[in-house]
Structure 1
Amino acid sequence: MPRGDKSAYTDKQERQAEHIEESEREQGRSEEDAERIAWATVNKQDGGGKRSGSGKKAGKKAAKKSTKKATKKATKKAAKKSTKKAAKTSSRKGTSKKAAKKTATKKATKRRASKKSAAKKAPAKKSARKKTAGRKSAAKKSAAKKKAS
């Protein structure tokens, strides 16, 4: 069968391709592009040209099952490898991880403590400012009284 031969397609597939081609032409695509898109869509939907009748999907299902099994095996192998690597590295890095956790918790507690002390100090500064402002205004008033008398 030469390339581009459409004899392997069923009547339904040909009708679908014609319909898709018409809609592509309405959207402003060229004749060649519309035909290419139409047959590509039919191939994607049905897996290529097929004859009608019983057994038309049997090959596709068997292929799907074999690929599913292969992917399951591959994922299991990858999971085993990653758990083995994690076990090896955790045994090596166990002590260093513990030390890192300790230092991290120490730093976090220091930060919290410094934040709390800063929060406590801030209101004291505000009240001190208020007191000095009050003192300054009282001093100004007394100075004004002295000047007046």
Structure 2
Amino acid sequence: MPRGSKAKYTEKQKDQAESIERSYERKGVPQSEAEARAWATVNKQSGGGNRSGGSGQEKSKQAKAQSRSSSAKRAAASRQGIPRSDSLERETKDELMKKARSRNIPGRSTMRKQELIQALKKAS
């Protein structure tokens, strides 16, 4: 018998698994094997149980607009070829680290965010 609770599955998914299971049983597959195959099929088709949260959460209209605006500003700055200091300040440490890596700045792995900004300004 398959492991795990089926509580997070929708009724539609449960009905689908039951239908698939009956189909396998009519073909002579043992009940436990039919159930396992049925749930494997449902998982493959729908990605598993209906889970709340996760990456499916939608951004608010305001958050989307802010992301677009910030992306457009960064794109405009990069088209000019001059990294603006305030644009570097708004980037995360990981983003700064990637830029430092691409410019092969020595000692970047031990630098703090402000040190990375200074090193990137010097390198450009």
TM-score range, shorter chain: 0.3 to 0.5
TM-score by length of 2: 0.40
Between structures 1 and 2, the one with greater helix share: 1
TM-score by length of 1: 0.33
Higher relative contact order (CA 8 A, sep 6+): 2
Higher radius of gyration, 1 or 2: 1
